[in-house]
């Protein structure tokens, strides 16, 4: 069965198309067919003027229309489209979502920060971790950061904070939100003997790739600090040239590293695991569990 996920974030819109098959023991296997990313950067205007301007509205419409065509070409059976921080903060976000549905048939759900954190947990990354440890999972996006504490594949606590890379670039992160995030992290790790930091998001995934670290091995806080210091001292054009970064990655990677380093400092961590999963992975897996599992019976 072929499933698709659309994630409309503050920095980019992504379409993930995935094949799901069942192994002989009945467990599902998820195989990536295609991943398309368009750097719409909705948060640039939304976090400044509070709405999506006409030119970005048109680009969003064209992007979703293109994604709809791709899903048709790939014979996608089920899809789910969600929008996060920028669309939920935009005064015209719901109107635009309604217009897109009317003209393309793609139904976009604008989710809360808590809903975003829950979808991230659907990546089922916890299944690959030890049941003996606690894990503090941080996902840093353009508009928000989601923090989830879990153990034994169960969520113990989660919260969403308006602390994101584009918000930092626009100087739109409130000091009280940073304080709230710091207090939440300290509260979750307090008194627990073994808590391991986990990070997701395009920026830390990129740093992980640059580091040449073996998948499954953590990144040390020293490595993150070195990349932060090096990249911070460069212009955007220098980051593009020396690190071969896309322009829309080159400007947000520094504030992203600042956020991850803050999380590690506040939690008392000296390293972080980077499983290289994201929100689109969680959307696909939730879609499978909610809507597609009955149709998978007997499919090999």
% of the chain with per-residue pLDDT over 90? 76
E strands present in the chain: 2-8, 13-22, 28-38, 78-83, 108-110, 134-140, 145-151, 154-161, 195-200, 219-220, 271-273
Tell me the CATH number for domain 2-112.
3.30.420.40
**Band (299; pLDDT cuts 50, 70, 90):** very low
Tell me the CATH number for domain 124-277.
3.30.420.150
CA dist 153 and 130 (Å) reads 9
Q: Residue 266: helix, strand or coil by DSSP?
A: helix
Give the pLDDT score at 300: 31
**CA angle, 285 as apex, 279 and 291 as ends, to 5°?**
125
Give the pLDDT score at 165: 97
90 in Cβ contact with 37 (< 8 Å): no
pLDDT tens profile 87-137? 999 999 999 999 999 999 999 999 988 888 777 776 656 566 777 899 999
204 in Cβ contact with 258 (< 8 Å): no
pLDDT tens profile 18-62? 999 888 777 788 999 999 999 999 999 999 999 999 999 999 999
Residues 6+ apart with CB under 8 A from 97: 83, 87, 108, 110
Q: Where are the domains of the chain?
A: 2-112, 124-277
108-110: strand order across its sheet: 28-38, 13-22, 2-8, 78-83, 108-110
CA dist 233 and 252 (Å) reads 14
Same fold, 2-112 and 124-277: yes
Q: DSSP readout, 11-57? A: S-EEEEEEEEEE-TTS-EEEEEEEEEEE---HHHHHHHHSS--HHHH
pLDDT tens profile 189-222? 999 989 999 999 999 999 999 999 998 899 999 9
What residue has token string 């600042």? 258
**Paired strand residues for 36:** 15
């Amino acid at each position: 069965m072929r499933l698709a996920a659309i994630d409309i974030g503050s920095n980019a819109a992504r379409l993930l198309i995935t094949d799901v098959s069942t192994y002989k023991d009945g467990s599902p296997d998820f195989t990536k067919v295609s991943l398309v990313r368009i750097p719409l950067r909705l948060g640039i205007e939304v976090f400044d003027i509070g709405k999506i301007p006409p030119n970005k509205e048109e680009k969003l419409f064209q992007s979703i229309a293109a994604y709809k065509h791709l899903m048709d070409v790939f014979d996608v059976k089920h899809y789910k489209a969600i929008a996060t921080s920028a669309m939920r903060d935009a005064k015209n976000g719901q109107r635009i979502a309604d217009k897109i549905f009317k003209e393309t048939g793609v139904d976009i759900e604008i989710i809360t920060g808590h809903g975003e954190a829950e979808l991230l947990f659907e990546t089922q990354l916890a299944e690959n971790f030890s049941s003996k440890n606690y894990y503090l999972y941080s996902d840093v996006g353009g508009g928000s950061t989601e923090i989830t504490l879990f153990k034994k594949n169960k969520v113990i606590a989660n919260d969403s904070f308006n602390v994101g890379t584009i918000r930092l670039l626009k100087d739109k992160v409130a000091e009280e939100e940073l304080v709230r995030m710091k207090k939440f992290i300290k509260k979750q790790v307090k008194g627990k003997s073994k808590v391991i930091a986990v990070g997701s998001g395009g920026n830390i995934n990129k740093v992980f790739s640059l580091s040449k670290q073996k998948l499954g091995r953590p990144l040390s806080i020293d490595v993150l600090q070195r990349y932060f210091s090096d990249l911070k001292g460069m212009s955007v054009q220098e980051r593009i040239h020396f690190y071969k970064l896309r322009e829309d990655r080159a400007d947000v990677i520094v504030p992203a590293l600042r956020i991850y380093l803050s999380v590690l400092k506040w939690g008392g961590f000296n390293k972080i695991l980077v499983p290289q999963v994201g929100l689109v992975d969680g959307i696909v897996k939730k879609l499978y569990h909610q809507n597609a599992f009955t149709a998978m019976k007997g499919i090999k």
